[in-house]
Structure 1
Amino acid sequence: MTAPVALEARNLVKDFRGFRATNDVTLPIYEGEIHAIIGPNGAGKTTLFNLLSGFLKPTSGEVRLFGERIDTLPPHRIVRRGLSRSFQISSVFPTLTVRENVLVALQSPTALPGQFWTPLSRLETLGARADEILADVGLGAAPGRLAADLSHGEKRQLEIGISLTQDPRVLLLDEPTSGMGSEGIARVIALVRQVARGRTVVLVEHNMSVVSELADRISVLQYGSVIASGRYDDVRQDPRVIEAYLGEEAHG
C-alpha cells in the first residue's frame, strides 16, 4: 500500500482475568480504504473494535490515529481527533424524532451547553447540517418520524448518520447489516460506499457477500490473533482462513 496509515494497532494485547482476548495484534489500516475485520465467534473482533475506539484500554500495546497515540485518551477525545463508531446494538433515542437524534449528536462538539434539558429549539442553528446528514444517509424524507417507529434498517441508517455528525476521518461500523433482509443489506452497502468517499471505513461484518462487495482489504482474527490480512480474493484462499472461518463458503 502506498497510502498513509490512518489507524494502526501496534502489538495490542487485552487480558480479562487470565483470558487473552487479543494477542499481539498489529494491524495497519490505510487512509481511504474500506477494511473489514472478520473471524468466527469469539475471535476477538468486538474486543479489537473497542480497543481501536477507546472503549477499552489495552493491557499492552498502542493504538495510533494518523500517527498520534490515542489509546491513553477517553473516547470523547478520540472522537474529536477524527474517529467515530457505530454499535451493534441500536443506540438511538427512541422517543426523539430522526432529526432530533441528529441535532443532539451535532451539539456535542459545539459551544452549546451539553445538557439533556437544553430545549431542542436552541439547536436549530445546526438544522441545515442535520438535514444534509439525513439526506446523505437516505432519511431526508423522514425527519419528523420517531426513531422508535423506524425499521431495523432505517435505525442503522440513522446510527450511521449520528456517527457522521462528528465529521470523522475514520469511521468504525460494528455489524452494519446485522439482522437485515436482502433489501436492507443492499441499501446499507450503497450507504457505506457513499460515506466512505473521502474517509477511511473499518467494519466488523459476518456477511461474507457484504465483505466481498465492500472491502478493499480484510483481516481475519482467530483466538485473538490476526492470521491473515490482504485482499479478499487472496485471503479467502489461505488454508488457515478456510479452516478457521470460511470453510466451504470460500470455494463457492
Structure 2
Amino acid sequence: MTAQTQLAPPIGVVNGPSVALEARNLIKDFRGFRATNDVTLAIREGEIHAIIGPNGAGKTTLFNLLSGFLKPTSGEVRLFGERIDTLPPHQIVRRGLSRSFQISSVFPTMTVRENLLVALQSRSRLPGQFWTPLSRLETLGPQADAILADVGLADSHARLAADLSHGEKRQLEIGISLTQEPRVLLLDEPTSGMGSEGIDRVKALVRQVAQGRTVVLVEHNMSVVSELADRITVLQYGSLLASGSYDEVRQDPRVIEAYLGDEGDE
C-alpha cells in the first residue's frame, strides 16, 4: 500500500502563520444573481492582503460579507477562529475587525478632531448619544491626538472635515477606523481618485497602520498593490481565480487574460 498522498490546500487556503480572517465557501445570491461563488480565503495574521479583479468581480460584495454588512447565502466567515458572519457589524467591530468605505463617511460639519472624538465615544463608557456635548468627550482627547499624529493630521485637527482634500479625508477615515483598535483593518479602495502625492501619502499610512495588525484592501491601482501587498487574491465573476504573491499572480495566464492584460508582459 502506497503512502497517503499529500494534497495541496485549495486556492486561498494557507499553511504557516496563524489565520486572522477566513472565508469558507462563501456564496451570496441576489435574486438569482450569484455575486460570490464558493469563495474560500485565508488571510494570515500580520500580512497586507490585496483583493483585486475587474469591475463586477465581486470584490465589494466579499468585503461586505467579511465585515458583516451582508449575510452570506451560505458559507462562513471566521475572525481568529471565531465565526462572525452571524453577528451584526457593531459586534464584529468589538471583536477586532474594522473597515473603511469607498465613499467618504465623515461628519463634514465637525472638525477633524471632533470626528475622532465621536468615534472614540463608541468604545468608551460615555453615553452613546448624539446630543452629548462635545465638551464631555474631552477625556478622550489624548487618544484622539495620538491617532491624529499617527495618520498625519495633527496640524489639521481644527479644520472642518468638509474642507479636507480627498486624500486627507481618506487619512481621517483610516483614523476613525483606528479608534476601534482593530486587529484586522479592511480598506476599500484607499487610493481611489487620488493624484500621485495623495497616493504616496496613503501608501505610507497603510504601511504604518499595518505594524502589529492585519490589513486587507481592495485596490485597482496595481502599482500600489505591488508595493504594499504580501499576498494577493484575484476574483473573477464572483469566484476566486488565483492567490499568491504579486509575482506569482502577475505571471498566472488566467490572471493576465482576465485582468492584467499587457501588464503581465512588463
TM tier, shorter chain? over 0.9
CA distance in 2, matches of 1:50, 1:26: 15
CA distance in 1, matches of 2:264, 2:71: 34
- Residue 189 of structure 1 aligns with an amino acid whose one-letter code is K
- Residue 2 of structure 1 aligns with an amino acid whose one-letter code is G
Partner residue in 1 for 2:133: 119
Partner residue in 1 for 2:37: 23
CA distance in 1, matches of 2:264, 2:210: 26
Partner residue in 2 for 1:4: 18
1:98-157 deviation line (CA, Å, top 9, x unaligned): 000000000002211111110000001100000000000000111100000000000000
- Kindly report which structure 2 residues correspond to 1:75-114, keeping only aligned pairs within 5 A, or say none: 75-114=89-128
Partner residue in 2 for 1:188: 202
- Residue 222 of structure 2 aligns with an amino acid whose one-letter code is M
Which residue of the other structure, out of 189, 193, 218, is the alignment partner of 1:204? 218
Partner residue in 2 for 1:140: 154
CA distance in 2, matches of 1:109, 1:149: 27
CA distance in 2, matches of 1:121, 1:82: 28
Partner residue in 2 for 1:242: 256
SS of 2:155's equivalent in the other structure is coil
Q: CA deviation at 1:3?
A: 1.1
Q: CA deviation at 1:164?
A: 0.2
SS of 2:36's equivalent in the other structure is strand
Structure 2 length normalisation: TM-score?
Answer: 0.94
CA distance in 2, matches of 1:183, 1:109: 33
Runs of 4+ in 1 over 3 A off after TM superposition: none
Gap runs ≥5 in structure 1: none
Partner residue in 2 for 1:150: 164
CA distance in 1, matches of 2:73, 2:265: 38
1:49-85 deviation line (CA, Å, top 9, x unaligned): 0000000000000000000000000000000000000
* RMSD over aligned Cα atoms: 0.5
SS of 2:37's equivalent in the other structure is strand
Partner residue in 1 for 2:246: 232
1:17-37 deviation line (CA, Å, top 9, x unaligned): 000000000000000000000
Greater mean deviation of Cα atoms: 57-66 or 112-121: 112-121
SS of 1:161's equivalent in the other structure is helix
SS of 1:141's equivalent in the other structure is helix
Which residue of the other structure, out of 73, 81, 87, is the alignment partner of 1:73? 87
Aligned residues with identical type, % of pairs: 87
Aligned residues: 252
CA distance in 2, matches of 1:2, 1:19: 35
Structure 1 length normalisation: TM-score?
Answer: 0.99
Within the alignment, does 1:179 sit opposite 2:181 as a pair? no
- Residue 149 of structure 2 aligns with an amino acid whose one-letter code is A
1:86-109 deviation line (CA, Å, top 9, x unaligned): 000000000000000000000002
CA distance in 2, matches of 1:28, 1:2: 11
CA distance in 2, matches of 1:9, 1:91: 26
Within the alignment, does 1:168 sit opposite 2:182 as a pair? yes
CA distance in 2, matches of 1:206, 1:189: 13
